[in-house]
Amino acid sequence: MNATTKSHWKTLDRIVEINSHWVKLIAEHLENTEGQILEYWRVERADSVIVLTVQDNKFLFPVPMYRPGIGETTLDFPGGRVPAGETAAAAVPGIIKKELGVTEDAIARIQPIDEIGWAINSSFSNQKLYGFVAQLQPTAAVNPELIGAKYPTTPEGISELLKKLTCLQCRSLLLELLARNYRF
């Protein structure tokens, strides 16, 4: 079999399926291309959006939130799930409004970092991550009570920011943006 040939595993049966509003957990028996029978667990979730929000050459962050998965409060770019039936791009204004209290008319420009999105954990999850840059109008009012931090978009500011960001998704989108030589 050459590298371009697609090989699929065969689903033999579903052991269990647990559904909630946020996630679906599925356990299955799969047969791989070598004929081995494997028990495999996976998660189905709505896609995620992270928005690198910029105003006056500064990244704006919402107030840090407690993250149950790691048991810590973390600094993260605004983000959320893509509602059913909506595109990732359409979710951006709502995320910015929820996280930073900024209305859609305050957004000067929304630009995708990548149109296709990235698989978050392709072995375990169907979820994709979409990243956007949202440039706010310089005069747009942002509620200071909703701002957790501001970092300059300069190389020095980004270097300091990378010391604080522990979210791999936030870090990867910021680094992807830098790799594409984005101009703020």
pLDDT tens per residue across span 58-71:
999 999 999 898 99
H or E segment to which residue 97 belongs: helix 88-100
Question: Which amino acid would we find at residue 141?
Answer: A
**Segment among 4-8, 52-56, 126-130, 167-171 with least mean pLDDT:** 4-8
The HSE-up count of residue 124 (CA atoms within 13 Å, CB side) is 3
Q: Answer yes or no: is pLDDT of 6 > 80.
A: no
Residue of 101, 83, 77, 91 whose CA lies nearest to 22: 83
- Local structure of residue 100 (DSSP, 8 states): H
Separation between Cα atoms, residue 51 and residue 93, nearest integer Å = 9
According to DSSP, the residues that pair with 79 across neighbouring strands are 50
pLDDT in the model for residue 167: 92
pLDDT in tens, 10-54: 999 999 999 998 899 999 999 999 999 999 999 999 999 999 999
How far is it, in rounded angstroms, from Cα 69 to Cα 48? 16
Q: What is the mean pLDDT of the chain?
A: 93
Closest to 29 measured CA to CA, from 21, 37, 19: 37
146/143 Cα distance (integer angstroms): 6
What domains, with CATH codes, occur in the chain? 10-44 (no CATH), 48-179 (3.90.79.10)
Q: Output the pTM of the full model.
A: 0.88
3-state class of 19 per DSSP? strand
Query: Residue 143 in contact with residue 56, Cβ under 8 Å?
Result: no
Query: Quick check: helix, strand or coil at residue 14?
Result: strand
Q: Which residues on neighbouring strands pair with residue 107, listed in sequence order?
A: 136
Separation between Cα atoms, residue 17 and residue 27, nearest integer Å: 6
- 120-146 tens-digit pLDDT: 988 889 999 999 999 999 999 999 999
